[in-house]
Amino acid sequence: DAGVIQSPRHEVTEMGQEVTLRCKPISGHNSLFWYRQTMMRGLELLIYFNNNVPIDDSGMPEDRFSAKMPNASFSTLKIQPSEPRDSAVYFCASSLSSGNTGELFFGEGSRLTVL
Amino acid sequence: AQKVTQAQTEISVVEKEDVTLDCVYETRDTTYYLFWYKQPPSGELVFLIRRNSFDEQNEISGRYSWNFQKSTSSFNFTITASQVVDSAVYFCALSEWGNYQLIWGAGTKLIIKP
């Protein structure tokens, strides 16, 4: 079975450019999470979707960040305009559980470098 | 307040040694879940175990074992006869009942030398 699929795996861009990260969750999973991982701050939850609806976006750093989940099999995280401090690994994770946290299945991550 | 502390930033052992990774948590809830995840050098996070607060039995899975002690608010992870492939960063995490949020520890980097 395919796991969580993220693209691109690596992205290098210049400050001010728009960045779009993509995620395909595991089929049948109804919860989707976007995380950011940095050395300084560790793993941070950016946004949580349940049944394609954003439930909690309080972790989104600022208005430059936006996320969508137009259907059960696709989600995007967009940064516009990007800044060097956005450099991090961005993970998408999906889960069968909603409400109570179950096992999270993570993608391989998208490593973003903003110059 | 919820908190997870992994005091060991990095551990280095020689292959075949046993190693224990410590995890101490704080929560006011009586119902909660504890987790361990592994992040190998390839980068993805892999679920290892979930334990609920009502189940204090130790868990063993092959060379891996987990010791949950509510009295000390600890959920420690032991690898027996470590192997080079066990080299990774290991994260302990906590969530409270009805809460999708995972509170993550800072992680322990485990290096197994051949």
CB atoms within 10 A of CB A28: 10
Reported as half-sphere exposure (CB side, CA atoms, 13 A), residue B76 has a value of 14
A101 shares contact with chain B (CB less than 8 Å): yes
CB atoms within 10 A of CB A68: 15
**What integer pLDDT is reported at residue A33 of this predicted model?**
96
Structure tokens at A67: 């996320």
Mean pLDDT of A61-87: 96
The DSSP annotation for A8-29 comes to -SEEEE-TT--EEEEEEPPTT-
A8 shares contact with chain B (CB less than 8 Å): no
Handedness of CA A59, A63, A65, A71 (dihedral sign): positive
Q: What percent of chain A has pLDDT over 90?
A: 90
Q: Do A109 and B46 touch (CB under 8 A)?
A: no
**What integer pLDDT is reported at residue A101 of this predicted model?**
66
Q: Between A and B, how many CB-CB pairs are < 8 A?
A: 54
Name the one residue in this structure whose structure tokens are 């991982």. A37
A45 shares contact with chain B (CB less than 8 Å): yes
| pLDDT tens digits, B21-47 | 999 999 999 999 999 999 999 899 999
Nearest to B43 among A55, A89, A99 (CB): A89
A113 shares contact with chain B (CB less than 8 Å): no
Which positions in chain B touch A32 (Cβ < 8 Å)? none
Q: Which residue of B has its CA nearest to A91?
A: B44
Q: Do B45 and A102 touch (CB under 8 A)?
A: no
B33 shares contact with chain A (CB less than 8 Å): yes
Minimum distance, in Å, between the CA of residue A102 and any CA atom of chain B? 8
Any idea what the Cα angle at residue A112 is, between residues A110 and A113, rounded to 5°? 155
| pLDDT tens digits, B55-92 | 888 888 999 999 999 999 999 999 999 999 999 999 99
Minimum distance, in Å, between the CA of residue A95 and any CA atom of chain B? 10
CA distances in angstroms from B51 to A86, A110, B101, listed in the order given:
34, 29, 16
**What integer pLDDT is reported at residue A100 of this predicted model?**
59
Q: Are A61 and A108 in contact (CB under 8 A)?
A: no
Asked if residue A99 has pLDDT above 60, the reply is no
Asked if residue A31 has pLDDT above 70, the reply is yes
Q: Which residue of B has its CA nearest to A4?
A: B44
